[in-house]
Amino acid sequence: MLDWWTLPLSGAALHHIEPWAYWHARTMVLAWGVLLPLGALVARYFKVTPSQHWPEQLDNKTWWHAHRALQWTGIGLMSIGAALAWDQGHGTSVAARLHGWMGWALVLLGWLQIAAGLGRGSKGGPTDVQPHGDHYDMTPHRVRFERLHKGLGWATLLAAVFVTVLGLHVADAPRWMAAALSAWWLMLGAAAWRWQRQGRCLDTYQAIWGPDPRHPGNRVKPIGWGVRRPQS
């Protein structure tokens, strides 16, 4: 049984892969399969931590620091993986070329998410130096940013699953790798389903400033599917 799990997906007797491809796969799986999904889940479900007494305790930045660290590290590893694949794979199969084209598209989208985050606008609010800001006032700029960042971010992660599966096929990876990744993704999906049912997807605005209707952003419809906004 152990021998069956170590065989390539095709069932071939031997598995051979070039060193650049081996390290490319490692960095990309760690980035797109582990770090970036974790960063997205932290941002969606941990704006208020289980031990936090919300709304008495507001603006817990634990999620922000974790999200930023995971996404920056993931994008950094993604960039290393992309550099390893640069100018490689000439004359390969249709599946390999498709994997390459879609992979470069993911690289572009990943850096676009970073650029969007850097251009999200000012914060503002009662605890800021400036009382007015893009986020506190929920300006059109902030609304556009949230729609782009959330929508594009989740769509890119879903596309990354397909590109990763395609990469496993192209590399004729050992069966245990495909099984381990599948189990990991199922575990993340199950955790997301549970946290969603628990109501942990709290609106960012209310996580920072609370549900008081005097805050201007509480009069704007929350952005994103399944985002919870309790009434004061």
Coil, strand or helix: which one is 174? strand
Query: Is the pLDDT assigned to residue 232 strictly greater than 70?
Result: no
pLDDT at site 90: 66
For the segment 190-211, the average pLDDT, to the nearest whole number, is 97
- Please provide the DSSP assignment of 71-103 as one string: HHHHHHHHHHHHHHHTT--TT--HHHHHHHHHH
3-state secondary structure of 182: helix
pLDDT (tens digit per residue) in 3-41: 788 888 887 877 778 889 989 999 999 999 999 999 999
Q: What's the mean per-residue pLDDT of the chain? A: 93
pLDDT tens per residue, range 72-127:
999 999 999 999 999 886 667 899 999 999 999 999 999 999 999 999 999 999 98
* φ/ψ (deg, to 5) at 174: -60, 150
CA-wise closest residue to 162 among 190, 189, 188, 185:
185
Q: Where are the domains of the chain?
A: 17-219
What is the CB neighbour count within 10 angstroms for residue 51? 7
Residue 29's pLDDT is 96
Lowest mean per-residue pLDDT among 34-43, 59-68, 144-153, 223-232: 223-232
pTM as predicted = 0.93
Is residue 1 predicted with pLDDT exceeding 90?
no
